[in-house]
């Protein structure tokens, strides 16, 4: 199972969903799904955009159990 750290990282950095959507150009539903506790799939290019925007590594966005 893959769990998302995206919501926690965004909160830690004070970044809102609306701001991230506007700044990255990613679809709001993509980010909403990525912020859920459990993730079933996400494209690598999407992970790269999120990580670059948040100033972290893609592997920081998710934990694998």
Question: 23: which 2 tokens?
Answer: 């700044």
pTM: 0.88
How many domains would you assign to the chain? 1
Residue 25: phi, psi to the nearest 5? Answer: 80, 5
pLDDT at 16: 97
pLDDT at 43: 87
Which range marks the domain in which residue 48 is found? 2-64
DSSP secondary structure string, the chain?
-EEE-HHHHHHHHT--HHHHHHHH---HHHHHHHHSSEES---HHHHHHHHHHHTS-GGGSEEE-
- Maximum Cα–Cα distance across the chain: 32
Ranges under pLDDT 50 in the chain: none
**CATH number of domain containing 54:** 1.10.260.40
């Amino acid at each position: 199972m893959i769990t998302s750290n995206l919501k926690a990282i965004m909160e830690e950095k004070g970044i809102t969903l609306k701001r991230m959507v506007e700044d990255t150009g990613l679809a709001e539903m993509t980010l909403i799904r990525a912020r859920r506790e459990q993730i079933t799939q996400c494209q690598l290019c999407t992970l790269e955009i999120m990580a670059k925007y948040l100033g972290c590594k893609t592997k920081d966005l998710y934990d694998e159990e």
